[in-house]
Amino acid sequence: MPGFELFGDTERKHLNDVVDNGVLMRYGFEGMRKGHWKARELEAALCQKMQTKHAQLVSSGTAALSVALSSAGVGAGDEVIMPAFTFVASFESVMAVGAVPVLVDIDDTLTLDPVAVEKAVTARTKVVMPVHMCGSSAQLKELKAICDKHGLLLLEDACQAIGATYEGKPLGSYGDLGCFSFDYVKTITCGEGGAVITNNDQYAQNADHYSDHGHDHVGKDRGAEQHPFLGYNFRISELHAAVGLAQLSRLDEFLGIQKRNYTILREALNTVPGITFRRVPEGAEENYSFLSFFLPDESSARKAHKALGEAGVDGCFYWYDNNWHYVRQWQHLKELKSPGKLPQEISTGMPDYQNRDFSVSDAVMGRTISVLIKLGWTDEEVNDRAERMTGAIRGAIK
């Protein structure tokens, strides 16, 4: 997945454009910037790539999710339904706007189970937030039907799935709003950064203002601009946008490399009795940033994961024990530990995660292993890896 592996001349060229004139800010300073508007260019390129009307760059994927929520009018006490398997940023971004993350079970797609989503809808629900984990789509058609039925927003956390598609549409562009992360370990990186995409003019305008202290961006004098509503600073810098511009232009190249490497590993693992693969919803195509597979049960998954480590196969994740990606280890969330007092809507509105039953997700996660697909592997390295992986797993679960 990581675009940082192939940092090169294109990235340096765009960075040099910025360093050359020293305008590190995305807004203003027109006279000094010698025509370089990297953030603007990257937004236009994202619109084109994602086939949406609008794109708003921000400082991170977490910020993108918060900005998306605020821009669509989601705030204190509103409930956002999201999966129990995701990166912590998904619920952090919800809590940052005073809203309540309602975690529900996933299924063998490793994304939201639509039946669990429907059951979790209450009078306070405003948003369904699928997370396209590990490069593959949630069941968007089913989730959209639930949203339409109950009048909810569909907000896609596509931070791990840029370049993947559903019914031919780029992930992130299917729902009312979609978010990407360009942090250092994502498929394409800005160093740090994120983006919101949408076809909704009002949300886009709100995102533009909200991410820059409420600035309406009318005219050419920042100090004289108006502030129609309260905002925040979630701006991206020109330096970060410059790197992103280079990386986005290389996305298809990266996806091609990932697909090749993924396919070699998958074909090898497919020969191992007992291994099955994560279900990709009908009509979806992965971005091949991870290969995720199931062992028959938790005990064999643990043995297989251990054997992979011992065989020197790096980049294999057993999410069930992971501190950052699965509810089981989110003690800080379960106990609502925070340096400062949390908004009352959260402290009183939060489901009791100490006692909530996630046994359906546990049954899936306990059997799951994902291997990160790298860009820099040579053919020889991938083939060697395929051999070591199949050997280790065969030995572990025989």
Ligand X SMILES: *Cc1c(COP(=O)(O)O)cnc(C)c1O
Among 181, 189, 198, 247, contact with ligand X (rule: CB under 6 A): 181
The neighbouring-strand residues paired with 368 are 294
Q: Which of 183, 208, 285, 345 binds ligand X (CB under 6 A)?
A: 183
CA distance 389 to 35: 51
- Kindly tell me which of 155 and 295 has the beta carbon lying closer to ligand X: 155
CB of 93 to ligand X, least distance (A): 7
Single out the segment in contact with ligand X by CB under 6 A; choices: 39-47, 122-130, 155-163, 214-222.
155-163
Q: Residue 86 CB, nearest distance to ligand X (Å)?
A: 5
Minimum CB distance to ligand X smaller for 114 or for 194: 194
Q: Which of residues 188-247 bind ligand X (CB under 6 A)?
A: 194
Based on CB atoms, which residue is closest to ligand X, 194 or 366?
Answer: 194
Please answer whether residues 245 and 57 qualify as being in contact, where contact means their C-beta atoms are separated by less than 8 angstroms: no
Pairing between β-strand 316-317 and β-strand 368-372 as defined by DSSP bridges: antiparallel
Q: How far is the CB of 182 from ligand X (least distance, A)?
A: 7
Paired strand residues for 152: none
The answer to whether 341 is a known catalytic residue is no
CA distance linking residue 315 with residue 84, whole number of Å: 22
Nearer to ligand X, 104 or 393 (CB): 104
CA distance 326 to 114: 18
Interface pick for ligand X out of 160, 198, 287, 289 (rule CB under 6 A): 160
Helix (H) or strand (E) holding 204: helix 201-210
Query: Three-state secondary structure along 236-259?
Result: CCHHHHHHHHHHHHCHHHHHHHHH
Sign of the four-CA dihedral 257, 137, 263, 186:
positive
Q: Cα(first)–Cα(last) distance of the chain, in Å?
A: 31
Instruction: Give the total of residues touching ligand X (CB under 6 A).
Output: 14
x/- map, 98-137, ligand X, by CB under 6 A: ---------------------------------x------
Please state, as a whole number, how many other Cβ atoms lie within 10 Å of the Cβ of residue 36: 18
Residues 11 to 70 in contact with ligand X, rule: CB under 6 A: 60-62
Q: Single out the segment in contact with ligand X by CB under 6 A; choices: 73-81, 85-93, 300-308, 327-335.
A: 85-93
- Rounded distance, CA 170 to CA 251, Å? 13
Which region, judged by CB under 6 A, interacts with ligand X, from 154-162, 227-235, 305-313, 315-323?
A: 154-162
Residue 253 tokens, joined: 């190249």
Taking the complex as a whole, the smallest distance from the CB of residue 83 to ligand X amounts, in Å, to: 9
Nearer to ligand X, 57 or 269 (CB): 57
Decide: 390 and 136 in contact? Cβ < 8 Å. no
CA–CA distance, 352 with 362 (Å, rounded to integer): 17
Task: Determine how many CB atoms are found less than 10 A away from the CB of residue 13.
Answer: 12
Local structure of 282: helix, strand or coil: coil
Among residues 18, 72, 89, 239, which is the contact residue for ligand X, using CB under 6 A? 89
- What is the smallest separation between the CB atom of 117 and ligand X, expressed in angstroms? 17
Compute and round to an integer the Cα radius of gyration of the chain. Answer: 21
Nearer to ligand X, 227 or 332 (CB): 332
**Nearest to ligand X of 87, 319 (CB atom):** 87
Q: Which candidate in 38, 144, 186, 374 is catalytic?
A: 186
How far is 83 from 90, CA to CA, in rounded Å?
A: 9
In the complex, minimum distance from the CB of residue 394 to ligand X, in angstroms, rounded to a whole number: 31
Contact with ligand X (CB under 6 A): which of 42, 110, 159, 241? 159
Decide if residue 333 touches ligand X (CB under 6 A).
no
> Which strands sit side by side in the sheet containing 100-104, from one edge to the other?
54-58, 194-198, 177-181, 153-157, 125-128, 79-83, 100-104
Minimum Å gap between C-beta 254 and ligand X is 16
Q: What span, in angstroms and rounded, lies between the C-alpha atoms of 185 and 104?
A: 26
Report the residue number, 176 or 192, with the smaller CB distance to ligand X.
192
Smallest separation, CB 32 to ligand X (Å): 29
Residues in touch with ligand X (CB under 6 A): 60-62, 86-87, 89-90, 131, 157, 159-160, 181, 183, 194
Q: Which residues are catalytic?
A: 186
